[in-house]
Structure 1
Amino acid sequence: MNKPQYLRIKDELGSQILAGGLTRLPSERQLCELFATTRVTIREALVQLESSGLIYRADRRGWFVTPPRLRLNPRHTSNFHQIVREQGGVPRTELIEKRAIPVPPGLRERLGLRPLDTVYLLRRLRFADGRAVCYCENHCLPTRVPGLLELDLAGSLTEIYREHYGLDYARMRLTFHPTALPDEVARLLGATAGLPALRLERLNFDQHGQVLDVDLEYWRHDSLEIEVDTAE
């Protein structure tokens, strides 16, 4: 049986991408002309390529070839900015919101708090080479980092903890699983709602063995890979 046209187009574009040399796809209008087809068919092919992680859409700028994934080793405590720099990229963190809130019930036991105790919530976006790749919510303990909300939080939280409080991340308890991007997170990342994502939750401990904070992260499915060397 012959493949539908959108799959043939997807295969052709995928082959061109994997062969290298492409960083950006032609416009949808140009692709329609190139493949002598309709925009509906082209969009279906592009959505298939997006789902497979080969391309991503940047609002009002078109479709781009996905850059190499960032590599995360859970056995190491490197922060986002350090990971991106070590892999040749330029990191940036954008603060969306900062405020004190009652501790969410699901985090209360892990943070060692009582009902209605306060935590600092930071909502932030992480960028690698100008591309939003991760949405992060940090739940921080005010008793450990008093006055945190008064600081410039558009940077590395690891460096802020070290510089202002003499605290270092020493170990973490990490859980992760595949999921779909929630609507609001997808909007912030400039991605399609419902696309696959990797959800990470970290319980972080300082050099004294005390709980420091909890991070909840949503990573674009095409931006991260987990690697662990069991010999370490």
Structure 2
Amino acid sequence: MKVMTLDIMISNELRQYIADHHLKYRDKLPSERELCELFSIQRLTLRSAMKILEEMGIIYVVPKIGYFVAKQRITKNVNTIRLISEIIKDNASTYETKLLKFVEIEADKYLCRETNLPLGTKFFEIKRLLIADHEPICMDYCFIPTNLAPELIDYKSYIKNLNDILVEKFNIKFFRTTQRIRVIEAESSYRDALELSSNAHVALLSGCIYDNHNHVVAFTESYMKYERFSFELF
């Protein structure tokens, strides 16, 4: 059980302060002196609380200037079955999708191992750049067995709503999912598109989605800017 220390309590109070004052991205928080007076605490305690908020991605620091509200993180519940694009769309003020690839392929050894389907199984490979609030935040790959949605390519221009297309047009039911999350070094194949530095890291969320008959309906790999996401287990 985590001990509720004073700095943790103050960090919670500061989160409430940000919400109560409707502070948004890039809004400046009061000075350290003002916050210490407001909460009747020492500066060392305040800085410890601010460090907690910084590590949570709620604020950021500009040296010699002050504390500012960071961009809101998009929360992914690892138990949910929805595609990451749908979660981003619901949690961003503006949302865009750039379709980079939509082709039919035959499964290689890696894809067969991940889906437990035989070599030669045909998939639609869909590669999309997901953009939230005008910032590219995720390179998303989705592999869908062609036999489940043979005419999916006809909906290429509507691929922003891939989740709805699969459910409504092809009657594909999402029943359960297996997911794993890793932090890896960003690869050159998507690093520039996500506007990352050469030594940057990303959160890789990957796994299969199954229907109620335990058939694979999709295998996904999402390379995400980890500072824009948080992951929770409800």
For the aligned pair, the TM-score class normalised by the smaller chain equals 0.5 to 0.7
Give aligned pairs, total. 178
Counterpart of 1:202 in structure 2 is 207
Map residues 137-152 of structure 1 onto 2, 5 A cutoff: 137-152=141-156
- CA-to-aligned-CA distance 1:50-85 (integer Å, 9 cap, x gap): xx9778xxxxxxxxx851110000112234354235
1:81/1:119 CA distance change after superposition, 3 Å: closer
Unpaired stretches in structure 1, ≥5 consecutive residues: 1-17, 25-51, 56-64
Counterpart of 1:70 in structure 2 is 74
Counterpart of 1:165 in structure 2 is 170
Counterpart of 1:31 in structure 2 is none
Asked if 1:105 corresponds to 2:109, the answer is yes
Counterpart of 1:23 in structure 2 is 26
Query: Counterparts of 2:109 and 2:85 in 1: how far apart (Å)?
Result: 30
When normalised by structure 2's length, the TM-score is 0.66
SS of the residue aligned with 2:192? helix
Q: Which stretches of structure 1, 4 residues or longer, exceed 6 Å deviation after superposition?
A: 52-55
Whether the aligned pair in 2 keeps the contact of 1:158 and 1:168 (CA below 8 Å) is no
Unpaired stretches in structure 2, ≥5 consecutive residues: 1-17, 28-55, 61-68
Identity across aligned pairs (percent)? Answer: 16
Asked if 1:223 corresponds to 2:222, the answer is no
Query: Counterparts of 1:111 and 1:202 in 2: how far apart (Å)?
Result: 9
Whether the aligned pair in 2 keeps the contact of 1:183 and 1:194 (CA below 8 Å) is no
- CA-to-aligned-CA distance 1:95-144 (integer Å, 9 cap, x gap): 11111112121121343432233211111111111211100111110111
Whether the aligned pair in 1 keeps the contact of 2:25 and 2:71 (CA below 8 Å) is no
Query: Counterparts of 2:193 and 2:94 in 1: how far apart (Å)?
Result: 19
When normalised by structure 1's length, the TM-score is 0.67
Give the alignment's Cα RMSD to 1 decimal: 2.9
